Amino acid sequence: MTERNFTEELSYIYCPNFETGEDIESIDYPSLIRIITELHKRIEKLEKGEEPKEMTDKQKLEFLLTEIKSRAKRKTCYEHGNLYEYPDDYDATFDDGDRYGKIMFSRDLLERMGESYE
């Protein structure tokens, strides 16, 4: 069974607002819909008694391209409107930087491939 980090896949972001106390939480809804759709397809296959099949090389490449595009479409912490303030929580700051790096890497990779992510 594959380990999945749904917090990362959904681009969950928590930004505390120290001035007003109204913290901001958000997820990437297209990613949520993709995960639910994937789960639904797996359930349908199990109900039909179909065994999972090995992916072809073309299917693997299509899957990778879809995943890279999905990550590239996500907003970074700097694209959520207000100026981004680093919270006192160093782990959250690290996670934001990690997420930012992955998003920017995906965008750069797609640009070099001549693919659009928008």
Write the pLDDT tens digit of every residue in 5-55.
Answer: 888 888 888 777 777 777 778 888 888 888 898 889 888 888 888 776 788
Q: Would the pLDDT of 106 be above 60?
A: yes
3-state secondary structure of 81: coil
Position with higher pLDDT, 52 vs 79: 79
How many domains does the chain divide into?
A: 1
3-state secondary structure of 51: coil
Q: Would the pLDDT of 2 be above 70?
A: no
**Strands, E assignment, 1-118:** 13-15, 24-26
Give me 11's structure tokens.
Answer: 């681009």
pLDDT of amino acid 118: 77
Is the residue at 73 inside a domain? yes
Is the residue at 118 inside a domain? no
3-state secondary structure of 13: strand
3-state secondary structure of 70: helix
pLDDT band at 86 (very low <50, low <70, confident <90, very high): low
pLDDT band at 116 (very low <50, low <70, confident <90, very high): confident
Is the residue at 100 inside a domain? yes
Q: Are 68 and 109 in contact, with CB atoms under 8 Å apart?
A: yes
Q: Would the pLDDT of 59 be above 80?
A: yes
3-state secondary structure of 52: coil
Is the residue at 75 inside a domain? yes
3-state secondary structure of 24: strand
Provide the residue range defining the domain that includes 89.
Answer: 6-113
CA atoms of 31 and 11, how far apart (whole Å): 8
Is the residue at 86 inside a domain? yes
**Which of 105, 78, 77 lies closest to 11, judged by CA?**
77
pLDDT of amino acid 85: 65
